[in-house]
Amino acid sequence: MAEPNLSSHGSDVKFLIVDDHELILYATASALEKHFPNAEILTAATAKSTYAKVHKFSPSLVLLDLSIPVMENCSSKTGIGLALLEKLMDKYENLSFTILSSYTQRLITIINRIENHAGGFTIVDKTLSTSEMITKVEWSLQGITHTKELKSFRSGIELRPEWFQVLKLAFEKGLQDKAIAEEMSISIRTVRLYFNKLQDALGMYPEDYGGQINLRTQTGIEARKMGLIEDVVGNG
């Protein structure tokens, strides 16, 4: 992929790199320093410090890993990064983002929010090359929204927000149908309907498994493989 034109960005460009792995922070910062030599580069490792630094330093662009902890000595989860992303988009409507993560498919759960964001927004899987990352950063700085990766995923699977909520409650929080119904203020019958709709959207049918497995459990397994949920908790 061709190198982007960097001449339009000078010393006024300010990056905030967010990742809980020190080596990745260093490597990403080094790549940005090479291609944006006059830019100011900040780093953060937690959701709490990220929010504080965005407020204090007003970066041009945030390079965000989705799997981060709320604060030091806490567990890293993609749900935390997603919640932080939504919070930042709500408060800073013109802030640009490049999501640099191994869990980019999780963004499908907030695709409508992303599409309505005024700032630039691009996505980079951590397996991609440095040149591809730099290109996506440049696009985002230009105010471009590029979510082609999610579009191709979304075209094959259309999931409603309430279905996602059922997934999260069942397989991230480990709730049973009754508790899910109470949490969502819906009937148990509706919870089961949502599971049926989920299984249909994911292309999961009893005959494909010969009746030999728990289809509900398999739903969690498949959803996690697709990056739709964080963890799968046993849910019989």
- Cβ burial of 121 (10 Å; 0-12, 13-18, 19+) is buried
* 44 vs 153 pLDDT, higher one: 44
Q: How far apart, in Å, do the first and last CA atoms of the chain sit?
A: 47
Confidence band (pLDDT; 50, 70, 90) for 200? confident
Report d(CA 105, CA 226) in Å as an integer: 7
Q: Which pLDDT value is given to residue 6? A: 42
Confidence band (pLDDT; 50, 70, 90) for 158? low
Report d(CA 11, CA 67) in Å as an integer: 30
Q: Which residue has the tokens 């944006």?
A: 36
Q: Which pLDDT value is given to residue 184? A: 93
Report, as an integer, the average pLDDT of 69-80.
Answer: 91
Say if residue 155's pLDDT is above 80.
no
Distances (CA, A) of 24 to 15, 128, 174: 15, 13, 32
Report d(CA 195, CA 104) in Å as an integer: 24
Report d(CA 100, CA 113) in Å as an integer: 18
Mean pLDDT of the chain: 84
Report, as an integer, the average pLDDT of 200-208.
Answer: 70
Long-range contacts of 101-105 (CB under 8 A, 24+ apart): 101/64, 101/65, 101/66, 101/67, 101/125, 101/126, 102/67, 102/126, 102/127, 103/66, 103/67, 103/78, 103/227, 104/66, 104/149, 104/150, 104/227, 105/149, 105/150, 105/153, 105/226, 105/227, 105/228
Whether this model's pTM surpasses 0.75: no
Say if residue 112's pLDDT is above 90.
no
Domains assigned to the chain: 14-154 (3.40.50.2300), 161-225 (1.10.10)
